Amino acid sequence: MPQSNANTVDFQNLEIAFANQSNSDLRQTHQLFRVMNNAALVKTGKYLVNFAFALHLPVKKIIENTIYRHFVGGTSIEDCAQTIRKLAQRNVGTILDYALEGEEDDAIFDATTNEVIRTIEYAHIHREVPFSAFKITGIGRFHLLEKVSEGNKLTSDEKSEFQRIIDRVDAIFKRGFELNVPILIDAEETWIQPVLDNLVIEMMRKYNKEKAIVQNTYQMYRTDSIERLMHHHKIALDEGFKFGLKIVRGAYMEKERARAAAMGYPSPIQPDKASTDRDFNKIIHYFVENVDTIDFMVATHNEESTQLLASLIDSKGLERNHPSIYFSQLYGMSDNLTYNLAANGFNVVKYVPYGEVKTMMPYLFRRAEENSSVKGQTSRELKLIEQEIRRRKQNKNK
C-alpha cells in the first residue's frame, strides 16, 4: 500500500540532524558559519589566504582546523575512512570526490585519472561508497574542450591531446563497468558541455547495456536542461541502453551570465530562481514516472525539492530504498536533510571531497562564496545550528 505523502520527512528534527556533533563541535560550527555568513569577510579571507600561501606563511593548520575540517573528508582516500565510517553508521553513503581542478599538464591529468580509478576500486570493496565521481576538466584542458565544443578545427597536436582525454574518460568508465560501480560525471560550463554530452552518450552506449554505470549531470538553472535530458533519455530508450543521471541546480551562474553579456548571446541561465525551482521540481515528477528506465540522483540542499521526491516515492508506492533513486548533499551542509532522510529509510549520499589543503582551496572558496548571501545556504545552516544550541540548553535546564 502507498504510504501517506503528507509531511513524509520532518526535516526540522534537529536532534537527528546534529546527533554527530558534541556541544563543542556545534559551537565551532556555529562560529564557522557566522564568518561565512559575512560576504565582506569571505571576500577578504580569500585574498588573505591566497596571499599567505604565496608567501608561504603558516596558515595551513588554521585552515585544516576550521573550514577544511568541516567540508573535506581528508587528504587521501585512506584519510577519508573515518568520515566514511561515521556516515555509514547513520545509514548515509559516501561519494569520494577527488577535487583537483584547473590544471593543464598531461602528467597531472594522467595522475588524476589514476586517482579516480582508485576511488572506483575502493567503492567496489566498500558498500558504503556506492558511486564514484569526476570532472572532465580534472583530466583534460579546458580550452581544448572549449575548442572542440565550438566545432573549431584542431591542429594535429590538439587532435592527439583530445584523443588522450577520450582515452582517460574511457579508462574510468571501463573500470567502473568491470567492477560494477556507477560513475557520475559532473556538469561543466555550457560552452564546453556539448563535447561532454557527446562523450557521455557514447560511453553509455558502450557500458550501460545492463546497468547505468555511466551517469551524466544536468544543471537545472539552464533553460534547455529539461529538453536535453528528455532527448538523451529518448536516445537511451531507442537504442536500448540504461540511462543514469544526477540533477543539480547549477554552479556557474555568474560566469555564464557575464560571458553571455560580453559575447552578445542570450543567457543560457534561467531568468530567476523561481524558474530554476519550477524546472527542478518538474523533472523530479518525470523521473518518478519513468523510474523503470532512469536511475537518478537528486542532489539538492532545497527542502521543498527534497520533500517533493520523498513524498512522490511514498505516493507511488515505491520502496524508500529503491535502488534507482538517491538523494545527495555536500559533506558539511544540510545535515538536517541528509540524516532525516536516512533515518526514514531513503537512499542518501554525501559528496565527500578530498585532497591536500592547498589543492582544496578553490573548492572551499566556492563553498564560502556561494553561501555568503543573506538568502544563501549559510544563513539557513546558521539558523538551524542556533536552534539546536537553544534546544540543548533548554533540555539541560529541565
Per-residue DSSP letters for 6-68? Answer: TT-S-TT-HHHHTTT--HHHHHHHHHHHHHHT-HHHHHHHHHHHHHHHHTT-S-HHHHIIIII
Nearest to 98 by CA among 152, 45, 172: 172
Q: Can you give the pLDDT of all 398 residues of the chain as single tens digits? A: 344 455 689 999 999 999 999 999 999 999 888 888 777 767 777 767 776 767 777 778 888 888 899 999 999 999 999 999 999 999 999 999 997 777 889 999 999 999 999 999 999 999 999 999 999 999 999 999 999 999 999 999 999 999 999 999 999 999 999 999 999 999 999 999 999 999 999 999 999 999 999 999 999 999 999 999 999 999 999 999 999 999 999 888 888 999 999 999 999 999 999 999 999 999 999 999 999 999 999 999 999 999 999 999 999 999 999 999 999 999 999 999 999 999 999 999 999 999 998 888 878 877 776 655 545 555 788 899 999 999 999 888 76
Count H helices and E strands in the chain, helices first. 17, 8
Nearest to 70 by CA among 118, 35, 120: 35
Residue 371: per-residue pLDDT = 57
Q: Which fold has domain 14-397?
A: TIM Barrel (3.20.20)
> Mind giving me the DSSP string for 116-166?
HHHHHHHHHH-TT--EEEE-GGGSS-HHHHHHHHTTPPPPHHHHHHHHHHH
3 state SS of 305 = helix
Residue 374: per-residue pLDDT = 44
- Residue 252 near residue 189, CB atoms below 8 Å: yes
Cα–Cα distance, 67 to 284 (Å, whole number): 32
Question: Which phi and psi (to 5°) does residue 105 adopt?
Answer: -110, 135
Residue 48: per-residue pLDDT = 72
